[in-house]
Amino acid sequence: MLWDEFLNSDYHDGRSKGKSEDRLDKPGWLASWCDEHGLAYPGDPSPDELAALKDLRGKMFRMVRKIASGAALSADDLETLNRTMAGGSVVHLLRSSDEGWRLETAPAAPDWRSVLAVIALSFAKTLTEGEASRIRICDNPDCLWVYYDRTRNRSKRYCEDRSCGNLMKVRRFRASRKRKQ
């Protein structure tokens, strides 16, 4: 999904405490991300546009924390999403794919306000068309990866079982051995 990959641009390495990277600052990352999601790249963002991207990411992450903990979004949260979606113009495009037809939302104008609107719309669609209770944050406190739990029984706790899941099992095992000594 577009919105969760955008949130995860604030990358935290779940294997080591404190190691993180803000991919929005990484040259070429935004161009690649836009291309991957079928968005026209408006060019490198100005300092104000980059600040707006980071501001939306921070606000959306706080919203995800609320949702993941079972709390409701506030009126201010909804206003943030609505104001962002209204800030840019988008068009809907019908595309053919190997799986059949798909409907895409794209910025009408190649500017960062429109990209922000598409990000907010992607999140809003997940809230309305998906199940908000499936929005999760990895249980590894060093990771903070945001994901949508697609498991049948809604029991996924880690972004990846092979990385964070195994790492947390090892940490619990070592902590229990240490307590027994």
* 87 or 174: which leads in pLDDT: 87
- The pLDDT of residue 14: 62
Residue 126 or 178, more confident: 126
Q: pLDDT band at residue 172, thresholds of 50, 70 and 90?
A: confident
pLDDT class of 64 with cuts at 50, 70, 90: very high
**Chain mean pLDDT for the chain:** 89
Taking residues 136-148, report their average pLDDT: 87
DSSP string, 42-110: --SPPHHHHHHHHHHHHHHHHHHHHHHTTPPPPHHHHHHHHHHHHTS-EEEEEEEETTEEEEEEEESSS
Predicted confidence at residue 143, as pLDDT, reads 87
CA–CA gap between residue 73 and residue 60 (Å, rounded) = 10
Query: Given pLDDT bands bounded at 50, 70 and 90, which one contains residue 168?
Result: low
- How high is the pLDDT of residue 175? 73
β pairing state of 100-107 and 135-137? unpaired
Q: How confident is the model at residue 165 (pLDDT cuts 50, 70, 90)?
A: low
The pLDDT of 141-166, averaged and rounded, is 80
Q: Which of 66-75, 136-145, 164-173 has the lowest mean pLDDT?
A: 164-173
Tell me the domains of the chain and their CATH numbers.
2-180 (1.10.3300.10)
Alpha carbon distance 73, 156 (integer Å): 22
The pLDDT-based confidence of 161 (bands split at 50, 70, 90) is: low
pLDDT for residue 140 is more than 90 = no
Q: Does residue 118 register a pLDDT over 90? A: yes
- Supply the DSSP symbol for 134: G
* pLDDT grade for 119, boundaries at 50, 70 and 90: very high
Q: Considering the entire predicted model, what is its pTM? A: 0.83
Average pLDDT over residues 99-124: 90
CB-based contact 138:162 (threshold 8 Å): no
